[in-house]
Structure 1
């Protein structure tokens, strides 16, 4: 149930009276409408939560970043000095489908904000019509004098045109709160777009170096297959000459076939990795070979420059400014707070100004004469008295949603700190592992040389050679995997810290 009150004034003809009354209305609006902006909007006024952060990362303590460092980190992947990677990043920023989806969602939110802003303005409609009718001969009695309109079987024309307007005066701020919520939703959508962008940059870097690593691993496997084939041929020759046992020959052939069996698995992973990278680039997999030629070079590094030894982490409080998921969660909280005000505004009366102006006539020749002019104007208000508890229930729903958004915001912050700490730890530990694997490979290669010399001199059995070949192959494999993992962890650090999105956002 609601109470409605409509106060109107209408008049046909008399243009002088119409103009005088419009002047009065406009004068009244000039006083009333600006005053509404000074009336506080119902509902809570949002204030960002007071978030206290730890002073430094445990894994990599450091100070706040300078403006120059921030500018550098906006394109952090350029530190790797790889033109091929820079080219892939440009392709991904242009054609990645997830980024296009996020961009479209941000555009939708921007349009929703414009939609909410439309409620601040009068809604004006125009219309025109023509009706030709004939009255029933049995519905009316005998003709009443000269009144032909109600004559049985009379045919009439009716011409009508005009403007209708309604304007809700936002006295209690329901529309203002709705616009506030829509604005926060749009800002959250922008941050989610940036979140997709930050993730995309890290994924392209990780996927690119995984492809490079798998190319190298294929080269390593093929190289070791050739080495072990040569060893097997040597043993075969020695066996034919009676200088080696059948056991040595069987072991050499078995190790050769075992290494050959590993190669298809690496090649399958390489196909998958290339396909994953093509998805990130928004391109068909069959065209990736033209962009990234296959390089099965066992001895070369997958990185053109020296491996990064450190990262610029800043301090945890900067996560609030950098991480787009944190900023999106805070904007969602602001939108939830504003929607409480929208719900509370339903408890208050709504004031509306409505009016119409037009021309009506039964003849086209007199349609736009002053005597055919008609207008109406008047304020009204409606106020719900009983709604079965729906309004109060909706207010409670919006308050609980604000609590949910606050909890989600807190959880996002904690998860962001843990993500940053984990990424920093993984990068540092993988760097130490990479250094150890580099030294291990050098020692295994030296051991392989010595074992072959001792075997040809008859001072060691062939099992020592097989062990050295197998361990060298495993060390090369481990180092290639560690190379890829180190660079992937490097990218994950800057993803966790939220860098790379702001400077590469598209409007």
Structure 2
């Protein structure tokens, strides 16, 4: 066989082997899901504007600020940029590496060195050229490495989307809770004013002889119990302000300047529950992230399996070495070499086997994590739907109960003023009325936060507001 024929045979063999890929083929896992959500209400329809459907410019502004400045989103975005940079780096591993070199030196050997005949004279040496190396990806190890990082990029992109959805929902929930705390604080304030007014009236009646000291003591007990509830409502208001400050990356003082003093909760839009769980959960970025991390872990098995086989590199160099600068570039000063090299760590296959086992175990863990993510997503969605449904029912019943309690308190007051009953009946009616009003506000708040949880679980789209780049990032650009 001639030298040329040998080279062509080798190249054909390389081309054939290059189609091989080490490791298992990846297929997206199947997960059994119910045909419908257990807690869904089929008659409900989707809101037209999703997160902006609450009709609050204040909430819209807070969400936009959180999406642009939240530090959690910034961390996830930075990890995505890092992974993308590494992905660009792995593409170069499939290409030849070329290194240029050049140098000049003046050297004198020992005149007494028997290994250097004619030593003792100083000589100049000049060199210039380049070296090239190209690893032939015969068994797919390099391509698997590229696939690993590419799938990690996709996973990190899904993680960023999940962070945006989560921060949007948390901002809405904190704002609803803040409005609820304000509503309860305002309610308790009105109740306290009313109770103090009744107490003053009873004291006047006591002096006039138309009320008893027991009536006054009972009225004061009610007033002080209402006053005791104020600090808890104030503390809840502070907690939600602090939460919004963290989510929006605003100082609390700056946040308070942007928040209106309004204590009303917005009118809630209709809820969408149409579609199967598989259709809705497929939208969730956390599930896509888990699936992409499983794909990356599967590809990493191939990276390790490729070490079972030899690694082949094509090496070459070309340049000049001469005693004077003028001789550089001349034909007589040329030097070159080329040829393949094969390395095979056949005595190290035990370590390779253990790395393959470790990679397989990581893939098994990623598969379990994927199924766990799906199950938790289904659990989260069902709980959110149930929370909204029960809070909605409770709010509706409590609204009717408050109306009845107002009438009962009015009638009890009339009977007391007419001398038919003592003040205990009035006290019981007012205490029931106050408790029902407080529970009604709490149920309204829970209904609003539960709707935000549903939006998060079913991944309604978030506003298209991008993260503000840091100064360092802008400088790199």
TM-score normalised by L of structure 1: 0.85
Aligned equivalent of 2:360: 399
Aligned equivalent of 2:33: 53
Deviation at 1:502, TM superposition (A): 9.5
**1:213 equivalent in alignment to 2:180:** yes
Q: Deviations over 1:39-90 (max 9, x none)?
A: 221221111123332211121165999xxx6xx67x5222222221111111
Deviation at 1:236, TM superposition (A): 1.2
**1:123 equivalent in alignment to 2:84:** no
Deviation at 1:260, TM superposition (A): 1.4
Deviation at 1:265, TM superposition (A): 1.6
Structure 1 pair 182–81 and aligned structure 2 pair: CA distance change class (3 A): same
SS of equivalent residue, structure 1 residue 389: helix
Deviation at 1:93, TM superposition (A): 1.1
SS of equivalent residue, structure 1 residue 45: coil
Deviation at 1:36, TM superposition (A): 5.5
Aligned equivalent of 1:43: 23
Aligned equivalent of 1:312: 273
SS of equivalent residue, structure 1 residue 387: helix
Take 1:396 and 1:64, find their aligned partners in 2: how far apart are those partners?
Answer: 50
CA contact (8 A) 1:168 1:353 kept: yes
Aligned equivalent of 2:140: 173
Which of 74, 79, 84 does residue 105 from structure 1 map onto?
79
Take 2:246 and 2:183, find their aligned partners in 1: how far apart are those partners?
Answer: 22
SS of equivalent residue, structure 2 residue 278: helix
**1:243 equivalent in alignment to 2:210:** yes
SS of equivalent residue, structure 2 residue 382: helix
Deviation at 1:344, TM superposition (A): 1.1
Take 2:327 and 2:419, find their aligned partners in 1: how far apart are those partners?
Answer: 124
Structure 1 pair 350–64 and aligned structure 2 pair: CA distance change class (3 A): farther
Q: Deviations over 1:318-360 (max 9, x none)?
A: 1442111211111111112111111111111111011122233
Deviation at 1:424, TM superposition (A): 1.0
Q: After the TM superposition, which of the residue ranges 330-339 and 355-364 deviates more from structure 2? A: 355-364
Deviation at 1:30, TM superposition (A): 8.3
Aligned equivalent of 1:96: 70
Structure 1 pair 320–478 and aligned structure 2 pair: CA distance change class (3 A): closer
Aligned equivalent of 2:474: none
Take 2:185 and 2:304, find their aligned partners in 1: how far apart are those partners?
Answer: 63
Take 1:202 and 1:342, find their aligned partners in 2: how far apart are those partners?
Answer: 39
CA contact (8 A) 2:44 2:273 kept: no
Map 1:132-151; keep pairs closer than 5 Å.
Answer: 132-136=106-110, 139-140=112-113, 147=118, 150-151=119-120
Take 2:13 and 2:105, find their aligned partners in 1: how far apart are those partners?
Answer: 40
SS of equivalent residue, structure 1 residue 47: coil
Take 1:79 and 1:143, find their aligned partners in 2: how far apart are those partners?
Answer: 89
Structure 1 pair 285–158 and aligned structure 2 pair: CA distance change class (3 A): farther
Take 2:116 and 2:372, find their aligned partners in 1: how far apart are those partners?
Answer: 82
Which of 314, 323, 326 does residue 353 from structure 1 map onto?
314
SS of equivalent residue, structure 2 residue 348: coil
After TM superposition, where is structure 1 displaced by more than 4 Å over at least 4 residues in a row?
27-37, 61-65, 141-144, 501-507
CA contact (8 A) 1:336 1:401 kept: yes
Q: After the TM superposition, which of the residue ranges 444-453 and 118-127 deviates more from structure 2? A: 444-453
Deviation at 1:504, TM superposition (A): 6.2
Which of 397, 400, 406 does residue 439 from structure 1 map onto?
400
Which of 425, 449, 453 does residue 464 from structure 1 map onto?
425
CA contact (8 A) 2:64 2:465 kept: no
Structure 1 pair 472–404 and aligned structure 2 pair: CA distance change class (3 A): same
CA contact (8 A) 1:347 1:391 kept: yes
Take 1:168 and 1:44, find their aligned partners in 2: how far apart are those partners?
Answer: 22
CA contact (8 A) 2:44 2:271 kept: no
* RMSD of aligned residue pairs (Cα, Å): 2.8
Take 1:56 and 1:290, find their aligned partners in 2: how far apart are those partners?
Answer: 45
Q: Which runs of 5+ in 1 are unaligned?
A: 1-8, 10-20
SS of equivalent residue, structure 2 residue 282: helix
Deviation at 1:388, TM superposition (A): 5.8
Take 1:62 and 1:155, find their aligned partners in 2: how far apart are those partners?
Answer: 95
**1:338 equivalent in alignment to 2:302:** no
**1:385 equivalent in alignment to 2:384:** no
Deviation at 1:499, TM superposition (A): 2.5
Aligned equivalent of 1:81: 55
